[in-house]
Structure 1
């Protein structure tokens, strides 16, 4: 589960890149989140470790997943089960 700041930063990165064709710089992220650079650096590191984004520099960031993963979906994928039961075609 993502922390509030991490989720907010991820949404800002996604929406900003879609509307502006580039990633925001650190000053823009500070302004949009109201957080200081060290807090944002920590949030970006957590997003990298969670494989939501890739890239060391903010200008090089690539978004891997634009939304938080759902815990039940992750658990189902890990166990190999599917909703509705019975494999791909509903058969066991």
Structure 2
């Protein structure tokens, strides 16, 4: 399961690549996320470890290749609670 910062960066990378036909720079990621460069680099390395991206040249964010632009499906299913309409009225 992705951390919030990892999910946010992955979505930014994906949206930039599809909408603007390029990847954001590190400075643009700092502006978009409100995080430090060090936090962003840690999140990018974590995304690479989890096989969401490939980042060969660690000096350039623009060198990233996106493998998956969203969380793995099985992780999304685990994170969603199974609440239906009856649960709301009987449990709360």
TM-score, normalising length: structure 1: 0.74
Unpaired runs of 5+ residues, structure 1, are 74-92
Q: 2:67 aligns with which of 64, 67, 81?
A: 64
Unpaired runs of 5+ residues, structure 2, are 77-92
Q: How does 1:24-35 map to 2 (within 5 A)?
A: 24-35=24-35
Deviation sequence 1:29-57 (CA, Å, 0-9, x none): 00000001000000000000001000233
Q: Kindly report structure 1 stretches of 4+ aligned residues shifted beyond 3 Å.
A: none
* Count of residue pairs brought into register by the alignment: 73
What RMSD in Å do the two structures reach over aligned CA positions?
1.5
User: How far 1:72 moved relative to its partner?
Assistant: 6.2
- Looking at structure 2, the residues matched to 37 and 72 of structure 1 have their Cα atoms a distance apart, in angstroms, of 27
Q: Which residue of 2 aligns with 1:36?
A: 36
More helix by share: 2
